[in-house]
Amino acid sequence: MNPWDADAPEAAPPSRPNAAGLDREGLKALFQSFGEPAFRVQQVFEGLYRQRHGDWSAFTTLSKTLRARLEAEVDLAWPEIAESVPSQDGSTKHAFRLADGRMVEGVHMPYEDRTTLCLSSQVGCAMGCTFCATGRMGIVRNLGAAEIVGQVVAMLRAHAHPEGRPVNLVFMGMGEPLHNLDQLMAAFAILTDASGLAIPPRRITVSTSGLVSGIARLGTCASRPRLALSLNATTDEARSRIMPVNRVWNLEALSQALAAFPLQSGERITVEYVLLKGVTDSLEDGRRLAAFASRFPSKVNLIPFNPHEGAGFEPPEEARIGALMGLLVEHRIPVSVRRSRGQDVAGACGQLVREGRSRTVG
């Protein structure tokens, strides 16, 4: 057994029920206990996820008596936004305070034709990647499905998200989503439900450090998000040094799992590649990266390292980024560079940390 087969701890159950983030089953149980008819579930589901109400008085499809009872007995508490830090590039980093006082972070990134939300899946992370601020915190606990959905609703509410504007979700905040796959898939069912947020599965991307057992399990799900893999190094020696998960599932095991992952027509796996100067950014790395990414339908996303305090790595030279891009293009692999948003407010990839040893610097 490897350390990541064991589930991370869960939050203690709340003392009072909280409707925010419940799925249909949860709402059914709640309204059954109230002796209410089954159609309440649909009304409340729509109120929670389509209208995204913040208090019971807004549920005008319900009788006054029922609203009063709900107000008295059931919380409607989305994750509290404890702090919001806008970046010069238009994105905003939000710190959410959860019911047990733990904090996670999410980032709201508006683009011309869509809004992308970067979400956390765990408090901390068990994977221990050496270049990542979250990894240095260790794992505190899994987020529940309600907390995952709650980040989305809280950010859409905070930014008065206009009806009809497309939303993309990326699980690239704190945590390893495939180490919390049960709650992730429960959240996915709520997020994609046509009566609520109605986010199409193809607009949701889960990024993994390469938990092969989780990749295989995700591949068996009938409806699932898109997959991104954080490759970050091209030899087992280098990858095992910066990503301990590689000591359990090496590059060969990983590429086999990705090649076996059932893709829809036109779908590609995103290969994320963090460029660490002098560690993972040589031209040989570029050639091996191209070879790895050619083994399955893919596109490569190069991510210049985002510095944070005490990390001990440096971002690559600009010229090297260009050279690596050229190499991938030569191999006919679609490639982009992630100019991480929110860098000035430490909201960029791998800079998200809470309750860690130190605050990150942007």
Task: Answer for the pair 113, 166: CB distance below 8 angstroms, yes or no.
Answer: yes
Residue with smaller CB distance to ligand SF4, 22 or 143 = 143
Q: Is the dihedral of CA 208, 211, 215, 218 positive or negative?
A: negative
Amino acid at 128: G
**Of residues 213-232, those binding ligand SF4 (CB under 6 A):** 230
Left, alpha or beta for 197 (phi > 0: left; psi -120 to 50: alpha)? Answer: alpha
Least distance to ligand SAH from the beta carbon of 209, Å?
4
| Least distance from ligand SAH to the Cβ atom of residue 339, Å | 11
How many chain residues interact with ligand SF4 (CB under 6 A)?
12
Q: How many helices (H) and strands (E) does the chain have?
A: 10, 12
Q: Can you tell me which of 47, 135, 225, 316 binds ligand SF4, judged by CB under 6 A?
A: 135
Interacting residue ranges for ligand SAH, rule: CB under 6 A: 125, 131-132, 172, 176, 207-209, 230, 232, 272, 274, 303, 305-306, 308, 349-350
Q: Which H or E run includes 84?
A: strand 80-86
For residue 309, report the phi and psi dihedrals to the nearest 5 degrees.
-55, 130
Catalytic choice (36, 105, 176, 272) = 105
Helix (H) or strand (E) holding 141: strand 139-142
Q: State in angstroms the smallest separation of the CB of 280 from ligand SAH.
A: 11
Nearer to ligand SF4, 157 or 217 (CB): 217
Would you say 196 or 350 has its CB closer to ligand SF4? 350
- 256: which residues sit within 8 A by CB, 6+ positions away? none
CA distance 348 to 172: 10
Find out whether 136 and 57 touch, Cβ atoms under 8 Å.
no
At 110 the three-state DSSP class reads: strand
Q: How far is the C-alpha of 152 from the C-alpha of 89, rounded, in Å?
A: 20
The DSSP-derived string for 305-335 is ----TT----PPPHHHHHHHHHHHHHTT--E
> Is position 105 annotated as part of the catalytic site?
yes
Nearer to ligand SF4, 76 or 204 (CB): 204
CB 315 to ligand SAH: min, Å = 8
- Residue (76 or 269) nearer to ligand SAH, CB: 269
The token pair that represents 217 in the structure block: 């399990």
Q: Within 115-134, which residues bind ligand SF4 (CB under 6 A)?
A: 125, 127-129, 132, 134
Determine the residue type at 354.
R
- Among ligand SF4, ligand SAH, none, partner that 349 touches (CB below 5 to 8 angstroms by kind): ligand SAH
CB of 342 to ligand SAH, least distance (A): 12
276 is an interface residue for ligand SF4 by CB under 6 A: no
For ligand SAH, the nearest residue by Cβ is 350
CB 228 within 8 A of CB 206: yes
Closest distance to ligand SAH from the beta carbon of 230 (Å): 3
Considering beta carbons, is residue 149 or 174 the nearer one to ligand SF4? Answer: 174
Task: Write the DSSP assignment of 1-15 as a string of letters.
Answer: --TTTSPPPPPPPPS
Residue tagged active-site, from 118, 125, 132, 349: 349
Rule CB under 6 A: choose which of 115, 183, 209, 234 binds ligand SF4.
Answer: 209
Catalytic residue IDs:
105, 349
Q: Name the residues that contact ligand SF4, by CB under 6 A.
A: 125, 127-129, 132, 134-135, 175-176, 209, 230, 350
